[in-house]
Structure 1
Amino acid sequence: MISLEFLLTSLVVVLIPGTGVLYTVATGLFVGKRASVFAALGCTLGIIPALLASALGLAAIFHTSALAFQLVKYAGAAYLLYLAWQMWRSSTPLAVAGDKQTTGYGGIVAKGFLLNILNPKLSIFFLAFLPQFLPASSSAVLSNMLLLGGIFMLMTLGVFILYGLLSGCFSAFIVKSQRASVIIQKGFAGSFAALGLKLALTERG
């Protein structure tokens, strides 16, 4: 069941830059390596609701209920736009993930969690992705889906931590250079805004 095809496909999916990668990299750049690990943890924990919804068949609601999909979609888009606005208006780059001295690592985890839990496409992705790797004769669909989902989460955590640590290597330079930090901050703000608008315009697949 845990085939090489599943591992390679999952790795490709995890490596593709998205909101979670963007958030983790931004945290590594502006707050530091340790904070990026907490950001990666938060994004990974945000996968759990989507995984459970898919494994229990609840994700099918998004296919049949336009209202449910729209509500979650617009909530996620609004949160992304809020992060973009927060970064753009701030005079300090630490706004991207919150100053670890005031927000704390718990706040960094919470933001990463919200980024994924407010993405309705995630549960639909699991519903379409995981069943492809289940044995046709399997009688333990729920446990098998949870196992595959757990492996996917571990890969996500590992890759995101790697992204965060690599970006954290440049943290000292970014913090010391006010011009570079402002330019990169604006870039991240624009990226979050673009992702928010993309999510808002997303239709059910």
Structure 2
Amino acid sequence: MSYADAAASSGPIGAEKIPEPTTVKSSPVSGNIEVVAEDKFDELKKAAESDAGKFEKDAKAFEKKAKKDIKNFEKKAKDEYSDLVALLSKKYQEASAYTSEFFSNLGDNTSKIVAKSSTELENPVVVIQAVAGISGIVAGYIGYLERHRIRTDSNVVLAIHGAVITGLIGLDVYLFGKYYPQYDKKSKKL
């Protein structure tokens, strides 16, 4: 068989043709269908109408209650929204007043701080204190950057570092307490 003959046939080579589907013949109703008498049918119809009426009444009652609940919710939500807006407005006004007061006093406070700082910086103990503080911050930062090189698994190393830091702070407090009053220009001005 040639390719053209095979393509022209209804299926693969040697296959039989598919038979025609059977047709259904209509016949009068008989068998498993229950026939109800007219008076019984009227009773069933009235019961169904009664059930439908009850369902409709229940649905209307539910709809009425749902509308009432929605109305109450909307009213309550409006009240809550109004309270929230009032609270936010009040807090905004308080923040605005605080910011305004802060910036209005900023110039006075800054000038007082600068005047006090210039008086304090005339004392050499304060200058040495500032230099020591800045040096401590720089040393701490370098220690932070080099922390992977410092072996902190030994408690002795940690104890030595802690003792050195504590000793330097104690010495600083002692020297500041002893020499600050000698060079204090404020007490001599009075």
Q: TM-score with structure 2 length normalisation?
A: 0.27
With a CA cutoff of 8 Å and minimum separation of 6, indicate the structure with the bigger relative contact order: 1
Q: TM-score with structure 1 length normalisation?
A: 0.25
